[in-house]
Structure 1
Amino acid sequence: MRYLTALPLFWIMIAASRGGQWGAWMPSSISAFERTCVSIPCRFDFPDELRPAVVHGVWYFNSPYPKNYPPVVFKSRTHVVHESFQGRSRLLGDLGLRNCTLQLTHLSPELGGKYYFRADLGGYNQYTFSEHSTLDIINTPSIVVPPEVVAGTEVEISCMVPDNCPELHPTLSWLGHDGLGAPAVLGRMREDGGTWLQASLLHFVPTREANGHRLGCQVTFPNTTFQFEGYASLDIKYPPLIVEMNTSVEAIEGSQVSLLCGADSNPTSLLTWMRDGAVLREAVARSLALELEDLTPEEDGIYACLAENAYGQDNRTVGLSVMYAPWKPSVNGTVVAVEGEAVSILCSTQSNPDPILTIFKEKQILATVIYESQLLLELPAVTAEDDGEYWCVAENQYGQRASAFNISVEFAPVILLDSHCAAVRDMVQCVCAVKSNPEPAVAFELPSRNVTVNETEREFVYSERTGLVFTSILTLRGQVQAPPRVVCSARNLYGTKTLELPFQGANRLMWAKIGPVGAVVAFAILIAIVCYITQTRRKKNMTESPSFASGENPPVLFSSDFRIPGVPEKSESKEVSTLGSY
């Protein structure tokens, strides 16, 4: 053990104060461990003109005035003391040399208090000094920790114990310091008041893991069983570290989700939930939950948790994926294209996860893509067969949505092979079926009479449209003995098509049986019909004919379901002649 031997300031002050005045010097406070001893250093002075033969002194406990009958700790004249101090007190100093040092042994808590010295020079030369020393009886060592201990910054912690018993000197050791550092014992040191202490220092760099660590100091006295221990919990300040956080979260639209963030820090952090720079919730807490109810796709994204205190900050993010069914697909809408042109249709939607996109036409799959939000349908050269309604369908495991769109293909007229003439009882009906877009102007020509009848002649022509097929029916009334020549022509802005309509049906065989006479009669009837049509047209120039809507339907109508045995369905007829387009 190393002892410091510097000249104490206390004795310097005594030597410099010798000037013949009443005065005393002693430490204002002194401490010692229970059951050990203590030496209270004391010096006093009196006027020089007083030359006492013998100097006596008295130590009182807790009061300086004899008239209050305070307990006598020590009395040099009679050695009569209070029972509490019997066998416990003795004077170490020489009163003749003005040294009044007092020693107390076998200390117990009731001996703690104030001690006063009274000088007795004989006769009336007695003086009780107001200066006194307060004795503190302790049973734990003092561990001194700096007011702020920061993780990562070296710190010094000391264990201080009094060493004021000449007969017993303490030995210090650290408890629970494993992993913190090696202790250094400084040894015995004198304080300014003339008292002594033993000190041991512990240097280490604290970590966040050491926060709350219980560090102890143990005091023992050689050749005794005396042992005293004191403890201190380390309050280590450190910046936040986020230790609890959701991993990526998946939730279904309309459900509820809780995002949790927890941080380890000292002092407690300010926790803040943020998204796109906006503060959603914050609080000073060790953990903070962000509750999201009735989720929508707009809440899908990255959420950040920020933890901060006076010593630093930390942040982490979590991704929230909101799962939902596809939105109604968005398409170009109705597309109008000319036959032969290229057409592109873009179908797009939004969903999570990405959907399967499919484009149908009449239950036939034209294009599909898996786990994409867009689908492009490309038709390099559209034809009439591409005209119609299409559907774009988007689906994933959470639902299905669809949108319809139309492609309208414009093309020149095509006269279908369904077109023909047929005798029915006392009339002839000629059917001209034309596939066209836009709607064509249809006319019937009778070349032998140089007569043309169009759909505006509603007394003779009935027209209807089904999809892209425009059907006109010419009805010729009267007894027909020979099949007439009828040519159908169809025209729109993309071109013109003509076809001589074939005469079909069972009555066709009768012409062979009638012979030349019958042919003459039939020809006469045909002339009469033509004349009737001519006269009717002249009347129309003077008087407007009845509207198609208000007029009666002809006796026989053509149905779009009409089929001719042996003729391919909806096939095109052989072109007879072609006119230039408009």
Structure 2
Amino acid sequence: MNMMEISLTFLLTGCLIQGVFCVFNINLPETVEALQGSCVFIPCTFDIDQEYKDDLTDSAKRIWYKDGDPYTLVFNSSSPDTGPFRGEIFGTPREKNCTTRFDNVSQSHNGSYYFRIETSDRLKHSYRKPSFSQVEIAVIDSPPKPTVSLLKDQQEVKKVTEGSSVNLRCSTKIFCPFSPAVLTWRSSPEHLLSENVTQQQRQEQTELISDLIFTVTHRHHLATFTCTATHQQKITKQESRTLRVQYAPKNTSAHVSPSGFVVEGGSVTLSCSSDANPPVLNYTWYRDTEDPLKPVQTGQNLTISNTDPTHSGRYVCTAQNASVLLDVQFAPKISSSCNQRICVCEAHGNPAPKLEWRLSGNVLANSTNTSISNEILGSTSLKSILIIHQPLTDMTLLQCFSANTYGTTSQQFPPYPDASMQETNTSFHYPSVLLGAAVGASAMMILCIMLICYKRRNPKPSGTRQDNTSGLILAQTAIASDGDSEFVHTNEDMLSAVTPRSPKSLNFSSIDFTNAEPASGEIRGVSSLTDEYAVVHHRSASTTDPNQDQSPRDKEKITNVSPEDTIYENMTRRLVV
């Protein structure tokens, strides 16, 4: 498929896609370059409004106008031989194709052109600026030089190594696809083109390409290849390329000066030479009388002064121009430090790793809170400095993260308190805490002393209370304990001064705590708890007091008691903690 067919296929495909929108539209390049005396090719497609689709027939006129004041009709498809331009419009109107070739281009073709479609019905439309694109034809008097490039594995290179397969490519611009240029090669030395060289030529949309494919040897070093482009069978342009081939030392030789034999006591110089690219770096001299060979001297020349019979023998020279670079690649390694507001992280890896800071999994960048600066340390190391302007949250999740093609690594930083940061946060001022504790302890001690004094100066009175008996409620309860002589006897009535009751024969009630008194010498303080209880004796005249036989400390002689008298007696039980 030639360039014209490819262009037409591409443009028609674009036309069909644009047709979906059903509006007036045109697709053509903004500028085309034309060589004077040749032809110019303008790829073009158009579309129309859906309203006029039935008006578009193959009899429609496809017209080109040269823009200006006034505009000029330069080509009409219905009469291609009558206008100022000669040429052809490809395809048919129904294919919406406006691809055009103008022949015999001259300087008068310079300018801007627009396309118009006309039918005998309603469809009459010009694709003119500013609503539509126009094409600019630029006419040149002479073609440019071709381009020569050296490719290896489809990548352009400047030098190659002996034994490599390369592609030497020459390309030139196509101005008229119907009359393309011709590309030819020559070499210096000339015989190189005949040594296992494959030549291929092809035509693309806008370029003509010629390739020389061969395997380079040391003989190609500094050889020159020249490509010549011939346009319109008379205009030629050429471009050359000199190859740079690297190869090991070849044709190594040794020479003696002066030549021939040497008289004892004389001086002699041995010289070594070799052909290599790059030039030989190391020459080494050996004597073949030793097994294994041991180096005598390094350098291109070996000079022996004051010779003697022991110097006789064969000398060997070796040449070396090769060196090897061992490139060990590895995943990044991190070293880091953090001091108050400044954290530093260095990553070392091959290939060179990337380095970033992360806080809670989010990548940090320069902001009002943080500043980050990076520094390249050689080809395999990178250093990053993080400056914290304001306190960061979740400092335990601050990470330095590094990665390259062989792995990733990270360093998590523990929280580093900053004195300036602490001023903005809630924290303890230890001298103030100690002072407050001392003041509080002193106040508590003074309060305790005052409370003890008050207790001692105002003891609770012990006596008989004969008022407000309404709060005494007696229920049917009987508790006995043999070990403690603790007895509780109650009846089921309530003595109340508020609600009188009918006279009844009332049993007595008494509470006796035999062990209620404190031990001798016991000291009572603020931790002693005192409970007071009341003993109530209520009996009729005919009732005998059952407590008359109690222990002496509980016996009191009651005189002048009326038959219905009520006797209150206070008893205190103190609980000591």
Same fold, TM-score > 0.5, yes or no = no
Q: The TM-score by the shorter chain falls in which range? A: 0.3 to 0.5
TM-score, length basis structure 2: 0.36
TM-score, length basis structure 1: 0.36
**Higher strand fraction: Structure 1 or Structure 2?**
1
